[in-house]
């Protein structure tokens, strides 16, 4: 969620029932959909929202709940429900490659490439889906060497192999299957529209999100408006548009000139400040909860090395993928009530050649230890069920001398994080960070570098902007036994 949110305005407003913040009308719902056909999807998605920023933190509603009480700003932030998943439980998903009845032969050689003819747009600025590049970059697969996220939870690090039969476009993967090489596992992970789905419990994520992945974009602004009016403000369709509006504006609002008074770029300013105080070390970067992905582009441009953005929210990640695959910024900007305005522009962002976006869980990263030189997690900490586990995972995947930049406004909510897991304020967070980034032998201080406080603005619509003060913590990975940086 970087604008966590993350996962962007990575953080929208807060907690239901907080008297210090005015209640919003129903039309301001920008959490998960909990009504009509979206209810079941929203409930399932809640178990996986560890990576989204704040614009969707509304709790997963049970059957029959349709926002019977006023929504507050904090409800707009996505959060991970407290029930963590622990891998697929369906035997059909665990059959080894090449097993009886298997449809996949041996691992696919990643170097094969087939050409793809690219068509023209339809006048809207978007290419038709079947003409878009939409591919997983083999640069990232070969550099990062992802491992099976389910096996990783048991301590094993079995590489994922791309199976034969994948659709290759200009040397990258449009769709295919990554399969665990572990002899006792063999779990399969799909690549959909160029995006690998690397979460321990693939079944639950797909049950909650596959219909969103498969549905095509609404290419006409007039049709999008008609659908939004017909479905009503509480429908999943409009909940998603609110999320995209909030994060799209913070990540890409600077691309457009005029028309919106609210500040933009809070998450980018946090990254710039973090890099100024804790320069990225050698190695690739990972942006936990990248949301709409602008900080992932910025990381790649600043470091000159591969950068990967991960999130669990398909609709937000798709904004970044559209910029990456099409060179096109496209999102609905909420003006007021249920009225949205489509924002569309062609862009050529620095760092794009070194970026990719995957679906993955910040609490169960599908990578071996010591993979990344830099880890960022902007406004994600208070969006996950186990904040200390996020910090531990960030340290695990850091290389020696690697740096961590983590921000949070400590905007906790019970539907995302159990109260016993809350870190109540900067002192508590600092203590946990110092425990994971201790001082080297003989050094007077811990691996904690510096602590910053930055303003964070979250736009809801033309007449509502929520202002936070986010704490930014910086740390580096050191070897506590020798006084040298950790391996």
Position 99 scores a pLDDT of 37
Mean pLDDT of the chain: 76
Q: Is 155 exposed, middle or buried (0-12, 13-18, 19+ CB in 10 A)?
A: exposed
pLDDT one-digit tens code per residue, 279-303 = 777 899 999 999 999 999 999 999 9
> What pTM was computed for the model?
0.75
Q: Mean pLDDT across the stretch 427-448?
A: 76
pLDDT tops 60 at residue 362: yes
Residue 291 and residue 7 in contact, taking contact as beta carbons nearer than 8 Å: yes
With beta carbons less than 8 A apart as the criterion, state whether 472 and 273 touch. Answer: yes
What digits encode the pLDDT tens for the residues 180-212? 999 999 999 999 989 999 999 999 999 998 888
Domains of the chain by start residue, with CATH: 91-197 (no CATH), 221-476 (3.40.50.150)
Query: Dihedral of the CA atoms 251, 252, 254, 260 (nearest 10)?
Result: -90
What average pLDDT score do residues 430-436 get?
92
Are 292 and 252 a contacting pair, CB within 8 Å?
Answer: yes
Q: What mean pLDDT is predicted for residues 392-413?
A: 94
- How many CA atoms lie less than 13 Å away from 324 in the CB half-sphere? 31
In this prediction, residue 146 has a pLDDT band, given cuts at 50, 70 and 90, of very high
Angle subtended at Cα 2 by Cα 39 and Cα 386, rounded to the nearest 5 degrees: 70
Backbone dihedral region of 410: left (phi > 0), alpha (psi from -120 to 50 degrees) or beta?
left
């Amino acid at each position: 969620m970087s604008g966590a949110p993350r996962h962007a305005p990575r953080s929208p407003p807060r907690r239901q029932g907080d008297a210090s913040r005015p209640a919003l009308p129903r039309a301001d719902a920008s959490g998960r959909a909990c009504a009509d056909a979206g209810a079941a999807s929203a409930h399932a998605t809640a178990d996986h929202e560890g990576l989204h920023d704040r614009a969707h933190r509304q709790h997963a509603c049970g059957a029959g709940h349709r926002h019977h009480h006023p929504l507050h700003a904090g409800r707009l932030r996505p959060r991970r429900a407290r029930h963590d998943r622990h891998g697929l439980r369906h035997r059909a998903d665990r059959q080894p490659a090449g097993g009886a009845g298997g449809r996949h032969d041996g691992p696919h050689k990643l170097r094969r490439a087939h050409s793809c003819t690219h068509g023209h747009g339809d006048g809207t600025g978007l290419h038709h889906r079947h003409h878009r590049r939409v591919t997983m970059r083999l640069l990232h697969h070969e550099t990062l060497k992802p491992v099976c996220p389910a096996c990783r939870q048991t301590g094993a690090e079995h590489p994922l192999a791309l199976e034969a039969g994948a659709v290759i476009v200009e040397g990258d993967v449009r769709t295919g299957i990554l399969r665990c090489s572990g002899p006792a596992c063999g779990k399969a992970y799909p690549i959909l529209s160029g995006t690998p789905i690397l979460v321990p419990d693939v079944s639950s994520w797909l049950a909650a999100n596959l219909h969103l992945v498969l549905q095509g974009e609404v290419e006409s602004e007039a049709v999008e408006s008609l659908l939004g009016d017909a479905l009503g403000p509480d429908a999943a369709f409009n909940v998603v548009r609110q999320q995209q509006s909030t994060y799209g504006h913070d990540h890409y609002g600077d691309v457009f000139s005029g028309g919106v008074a609210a500040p933009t770029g809070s998450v980018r300013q946090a990254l710039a400040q973090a890099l100024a105080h804790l320069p990225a070390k050698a190695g690739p970067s990972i942006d936990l909860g990248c949301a709409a992905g602008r900080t992932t582009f910025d990381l790649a441009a600043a470091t000159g090395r591969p950068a990967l953005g991960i999130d669990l929210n398909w609709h937000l990640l798709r904004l970044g993928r559209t910029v990456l695959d099409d060179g096109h910024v496209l999102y609905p900007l909420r003006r007021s009530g249920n009225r949205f305005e489509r924002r569309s522009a062609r862009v050529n962002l620095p760092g794009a050649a070194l970026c990719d976006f995957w679906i993955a869980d910040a609490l169960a990263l599908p990578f071996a230890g010591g993979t990344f030189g830099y880890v960022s997690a902007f406004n994600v900490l208070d969006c996950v069920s186990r904040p200390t586990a996020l910090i531990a995972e960030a340290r695990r995947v850091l290389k020696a001398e690697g740096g961590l930049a983590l921000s949070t406004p400590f905007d906790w909510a019970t539907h995302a994080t159990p109260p016993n897991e809350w870190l109540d304020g900067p002192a508590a967070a600092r203590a946990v960070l110092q425990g994971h980034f201790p001082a080297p032998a003989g050094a007077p201080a811990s691996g904690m570098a510096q602590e910053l406080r930055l303003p964070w603005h979250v736009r809801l619509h033309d007449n509502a902007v929520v202002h936070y003060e986010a704490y930014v913590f910086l740390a580096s990975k050191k070897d506590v036994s020798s006084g040298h940086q950790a391996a």
